[in-house]
Amino acid sequence: MKSGSGEDVTVSPAAIRLLLLLRGSEPEGLGRTEQVTYMLETAIAMGILGEGERLPRESVFSAELGISSITLRQALNTLRLKGVITTSRGRSGGSVVQKPKEPSAEEIRHKLLQTSTEDLRDLWDHCAAVAAASAKLAAQRADEQDLKYLNGLAERFNLSATAQERRRADTRFHVTVGVAAQSSRLTASMLQIQAELSGFLWTDHEDVFAIAEASREHAYILQCIAEHDAPAAASAAELHSSSEMERVIKQRLQMLMMSEEDA
């Protein structure tokens, strides 16, 4: 994100809070530096740390994350080698977030085929439960600022020109419902779920009907929250998760059929 003067914008305190809630989403067996690398890379992929945003100074950032400066420096070096951030030296220097690399069609296909239908259902059952609870509380607690931000994210989803933009807007929409619910636990759960879902949703092969359906579902969730109708908001969020699950499972079954035909 750039300011009007063209200067890099420093990552906001709100983004740092979301980043911290990603802890615990990393795969098992990673060392401390690998965990921090995964957390930062996932946050960039999800749009929590946006392209063009400047990370805080290493001494400040490590304190905010509760880690040593050495661990942070090693993680940032890994991200530089991957091209996820760039770093300049000097008084006005620092690390700036770059556009995240999109997974290839083959990487997405491999991940989907390696995940069983049962695991996908289990993941989306968890997502539906968290989404419903978040939407229910958001309908009771959201203020005008929350609604304005959610509307902006829904509009960003509608206007997205690429699968990456659409995925990031969709992720932020669902995470922000948790924020509007004023529940750090629900927000953390949704962040971790969205990190797992990132390789499945909104690929380049999604048709316009699926995008239009998701847009309508976002709008209805927002309407229920704005009208403070907690039961309807919970039901709308659960229905949206079910629609996403059915679409991804259908896509997986189609891939399996094509693989069998090619064998």
Using alpha carbons, list the distances in angstroms from residue 60 to 55, 72, 83, 113: 10, 11, 22, 42
Q: What is the pLDDT along the chain (263 residues), one digit of tens a residue?
A: 444 444 568 888 888 998 998 887 788 888 999 999 999 998 998 888 988 999 999 999 999 999 999 999 999 999 999 999 999 886 667 899 998 777 777 888 888 888 999 999 999 999 999 999 999 999 999 999 999 999 999 999 999 988 888 888 999 999 999 999 999 999 999 998 988 887 777 766 667 888 999 999 999 999 999 999 999 999 999 999 999 999 889 888 888 888 777 66
Distance CA 67, CA 96 (A): 20
Burial of 80 (0-12, 13-18, 19+ CB in 10 A): middle
Neighbours of 208 (CB within 10 A): 7
Q: HSE on the CB side for 87, CA within 13 Å? A: 16
**Cβ contacts of 98 within 8 Å, gap of 6 or more:** 51, 83, 84, 85, 86
Helix 144-159 vs helix 208-226: crossing angle, to nearest 10: 170
Phi and psi (nearest 5°) for 8?
-65, 145
Integer-rounded Cα Rg, in Å, for the chain is 19
